[in-house]
Structure 1
Amino acid sequence: MPIYQLKDAKPIDVLKTTFGDEVVLEDEESSRTYVLLAEFSLGPNEYAVLAPAEPQKDEAESVFRITRNAAGAPELETILDDEEWETVSEIYDEMTADFD
């Protein structure tokens, strides 16, 4: 992954436009509601940061890559590459540093 800085992050509203301020994530066993904290692009990729609407003890935000399905609708994908996840997390931390 190329080296990105805060200035490279561009705000987007893909998920907000599609789902609103909350996103329901489902797996085989359950579904859970998350609050959309941020979404932005870095280079050719788009990312979202979500927090559980009802967090458990010591539960942090989750970072996802936004992809598109065959119909063009946005979907969330877990970031498996450690370097990519670290880069996106650091950019988000810088974005929110002024508000802490």
Structure 2
Amino acid sequence: MVITVRYYAAARAAAGVESEHLELPDGATLALALKAASAVVRVPEPGAPELGDVLRRCSFLVNEIAAKDSERTLEDGDTVDVLPPFAGG
């Protein structure tokens, strides 16, 4: 199955891309998707932290719905949004 991962703010800087497609095995969880995203070799923006470090502080949406359970199963075509903590208010 293939999912889309969209990165925002610090996650985008760490990933070096706005979005990407990840190929995962059927029945993959959000946790597995995040592990796969961390394993991709990419060029982050200068001075950006490691993506794995950013992901530990992020919240996530799956198909625009908050995903608090990392063991949530994903489906082919799902979109995962990676949202780092935002300052201000």
Higher strand share: 1
TM-score scaled to structure 2, two decimals? 0.30
Based on CA coordinates, which of the two structures has the bigger radius of gyration?
1
More contact order relative to length (CA 8 Å, sep ≥ 6):
2
